[in-house]
Structure 1
Amino acid sequence: MGSTLQRPKNSKGQPYSEDSRAWVRLPALFLRLTWETLSSNYVNVLLVFVPVGIVLGALEMNPTAVFIVNFLAIVPLAALLSFATEELSVKLGQTIGGLMNATFGNAVELIVSIVALTKGEIRIVQSSMLGSILSNILLVLGCCFIASGARRLESTFNATVASTMSSLMAVAATSLIIPATLYASLLRSDADAEKNILILSRGTAIILLILYCLYLYFQLRSHTKYFDTEAQEDGGDGEGSGEQKEPEVLGPVAASVCLVIVTLLVAVCAEYLVGSIDSIVQTSGISKTFIGLILLPIVGNAAEHVTACVVAYKDKMDLAIGVAIGSSMQIALFVTPFLVILGWIIGQEMTLHFQGFETVVFFLSILVVNYLIQDGKSNYLEGAMCLGTYIIIAIAFYVYPDDAGDIGSMVSNFFGR
């Protein structure tokens, strides 16, 4: 958008951003890059909420207003993070670029969760992590299937890549089921259940991080041929490609500066957002679980949602699957274990022991998605199934109170004991 505008020129016919005089060139270059960055996405009009949200939070105004305004402010900041990361990846190549996307792809969720963790809001952290996974594998994937199915009878994608990702998600689901069932087993034991769960969670977190590193090596080094179709569909096969990648807007330095600035703004907005949650819960009656599991992930993943749907509409299903399931896998195998280790370092007892109902919902969601993608084909009906499942889960968590019983009492009540 911004690059199509006529650039002002000096007396020699050169754009001011290319002027030989540094005192002219640098400000002009800064203004041009700023404009092209801001005009990269229509959602950036919401950036007006960023200063408003910070001011409302700093002045300790109405908590509801602070929550809503900062909620809206994080949407364009997430889009800018995604844009800057993609620009930085252009120069760094496939391997480091993939690592950058893995690191910054879920930056908003990570920042919000770190802020909540430092405040001792373990429930917000856990529900936000689980909600990010569910929104990606059900909401985003469902929208991708529908977007692609709206133009064609059936879409195909690399079943090997999809099954590898879904298998890792099954491992992640197992890592949550084991602590929940262990806790239920220890309820009537003399052993210290909380201490044992903490030890199990920290050990499991280390193993999951190792598995994630192995997956990165698998994807970027040892088995790159499985992921080549994604690069080819994205027009990255070099000369003669009919559909080239979008031209680079920001250089490495400008993209890095943008990442730092946007990350700081996200951290500030997240600070005020998390700080207002308690008041929102008390005044609105909405549970912390619903806020963390449904509302926050939609904001944090807004940019990824749009990207995945657009590429799916263009029938680039491998890329869409990579965004949807790949992002969920990063949350499950990297972000959540990282937060457990971070909590260990800062003295917060963050564990992988989620509530029993949440664990069951997560497992069933993984089961549904595995069935839908195992044949390497999709259509709009399968997308509707994913969306329907997500809406049912959202309604369930809307009526799910924060003080609900854990899996031990749930199993006892289920079997009538």
Structure 2
Amino acid sequence: MPASETSPLLENGNGVSERQPLSHRMLAAIKAEGQPGWLQSYRYFLFGSWLNILLLFVPLSVISHFANWDAALRFSFSFIAIMPLAKLLGEATEQLSLKLGQTLSGLLNASFGNAVEIIVGIAALMQGELRIVQTSMLGSILSNLLLVLGCSFLAGGIYFKESNFQVTGAQTASSLMTLACITLVIPAAYHSAQNRNSTATFEHLLTLLNNEPNGSLPELDDTKPGLLIISRGTALLLLFVYVLYLVFQLKTHADFFQAEGEEEEVEPGMNMVAAGSALLLVTVVTSFCADYLVASIEEVAERYSIPKAFIGLILLPIVANAAEHVTSVWMAMKDKMELTIGICVGSSIQIASFVVPLLVIVGWIADRDLTLFFADFETITLFISVMLVNLLIQDGKSNYMEGVMLITLYLIIALAFWVS
């Protein structure tokens, strides 16, 4: 191969080295030795999994939306279409991470690891469906902590009597998860305290009603301004803590999160530019499908008597976490519990400490009053779930019985929200 194709420097006739034009260097980077070509990259991306056959539902989602088909069809087509899109988002992110190094790949996974949740959350936020935003975020946390981790422990316990994992890293992750859980308790406690004070003065306000010439009742103190201040301030602090956690996990204490033994080297299936363009394209397509999905929820809930809380808490997270669910269980069956813990607990931390605060900030910018105030039942549900996970992983061991416990709690929560 000529030197001009391999080196960024060329020698002119006087023996002086000159730098190659930028276009040549970019072409050399795209055609870097050992990286797959464009055709091979996209073939790997589109035909690398049988799940991608569900991409046929993407055009059906678009057609059903614009043709205004039955709400159940619109919801179902968009619901199914997001499953392979979530898998492709994870695949593109992983392919980019293979070439970016530990720090950049960690930041990339933080940004796109829960891309579906972010896209669905923003779509619901822009449509004013604040209840769907809150329940879908809470549902993603519970799905990862209880359903995905429970199925992983159960699958691992079938193949191995007992599985071990790095307890220090797991406890650090669960402690941060507990902190994020507490930040959701504080707004609920504030709201409850303020309402108690308002109730105490209600009789006094009724006595004032008789003295009002027009018969109007003076307005009660509203907790909304205070909740907005608490939520937005908490969101900024949680984002700061999450950045520090990334530094802690990837730099200063990386050994706490690494499994013992040699790591397997993964061969890239896509080149950098193909992976980046695929990530961008799939993100755009997912945003449209998520928008169509959210737009059909209201009608589906009313026509088929399905509680909106159940749709947001149970159904939507199943779509978003489908790819993670399969990967986590597969890793547990190989006795790679550090990876399983990283997927389940790590993803929950991303939701609670990154995605939820991010949506609060986006709502702040877009003049949508999204807060961290959840209903008492939802707050208690999250608290007991985090408490159970902390109890089960604090010894650094897992078995199938612990998996059964986690799945059972998830099913009980699903049943409770179905009748709510």
Short-chain TM bin? 0.7 to 0.9
Quick check: 1:223 aligned with 2:253?
A: yes
What RMSD in Å do the two structures reach over aligned CA positions? 1.3
Question: Helix, strand or coil: the match of 2:160?
Answer: coil
The total of aligned residue pairs comes to 363
* Matching residue's letter, 2:280: V
Q: Which residue of 2 aligns with 1:397?
A: 417
The reply to whether residue 273 of structure 1 matches residue 293 of structure 2 is: yes
Alignment correspondent of 2:174: 166
Question: Cα–Cα, structure 1 residues 56 and 29, in superposed 2: closer, same or farther, change >3 Å?
Answer: farther
- Structure 2 Cα separation of the partners of residues 61 and 172 of structure 1: 40
* 1:147 is the counterpart of 2:155: yes
Q: Which amino acid aligns with 1:367?
A: M
Shift of 1:326: 0.2
The answer to whether 1:212 aligns with 2:242 is yes
Match of 1:201 among 186, 210, 231: 231
Aligned residue for 2:192, secondary structure, equals helix
CA-to-aligned-CA distance 1:336-358 (integer Å, 9 cap, x gap): 00111110100000000011100
Q: How does 1:354-369 map to 2 (within 5 A)?
A: 354-369=374-389
- 2:352 pairs with 1:343: no
Deviation, 1:271, is: 0.8
What fraction of aligned residue pairs are identical, expressed as a percent? 51
Residue 380 of structure 1 corresponds to: 400
- Name the counterpart of 2:222: 192
Shift of 1:224: 1.3
Map of 1:105 onto structure 2? 113
- Alignment match, 2:57: 49
Q: 1:312 aligns with which of 324, 328, 332?
A: 332
Displacement of 1:38: 1.6
Counterpart contact for 2:75–2:293, Cα < 8 Å: yes
Quote how far apart the aligned CAs of 1:384 are.
0.4
Which residue does 1:325 correspond to in 2?
345
The separation in 2 between residues aligned to 1:52 and 1:182, in whole angstroms, is 46
The superposition leaves residues 181-214 of structure 1 with CA deviations (integer Å, 9 ceiling, x where unpaired) of: 1101111335431111111111111111111011
Q: Any unmatched runs of 5+ in structure 2?
A: 1-35, 199-219
One-letter amino acid of the counterpart of residue 317, structure 2 = P
The answer to whether the Cα contact below 8 Å between 1:41 and 1:79 also exists between their aligned partners in 2 is no
How high is the TM-score relative to the length of structure 1? 0.85
Partner in structure 2 of residue 239 of structure 1:
none
| Amino acid corresponding to residue 293 of structure 1 in structure 2 | L
Q: Is contact 2:41–2:271 with CA below 8 Å preserved after alignment? A: no
Q: Deviations over 1:283-306 (max 9, x none)?
A: 111111110100000100100000
Aligned equivalents of 1:177 and 1:280: distance in 2?
31
Tell me how far apart the structure 1 counterparts of residues 192 and 399 of structure 2 sit (CA, whole Å).
Answer: 40
1:292 matched to 2:318: no
Counterpart residue identity of residue 321, structure 2: N
Larger Rg: 2
Q: Is the aligned partner of 1:93 residue 2:101?
A: yes
The letter for the 1-side match of 2:367 is: G
Contact 2:38 2:271 in 1 (8 A): no
Deviation at 1:167, TM superposition (A): 0.5
Shift of 1:30: 4.2
Give the deviation of 1:101 after TM superposition: 1.0
* TM score, norm. by length of structure 2: 0.85
1:162-196 deviation line (CA, Å, top 9, x unaligned): 11011011111110111001101111335431111
Q: Residue 257 of structure 2 aligns to which amino acid in structure 1? A: F
Q: Which moved more, 1:317-326 or 1:192-201?
A: 192-201
Distance 1:158 1:31 in 2: 40
1:245 is displaced (CA, Å) by 3.1
Q: Distance in 2 between matches of 1:100 and 1:249?
A: 18
1:82 aligns with 2:103: no
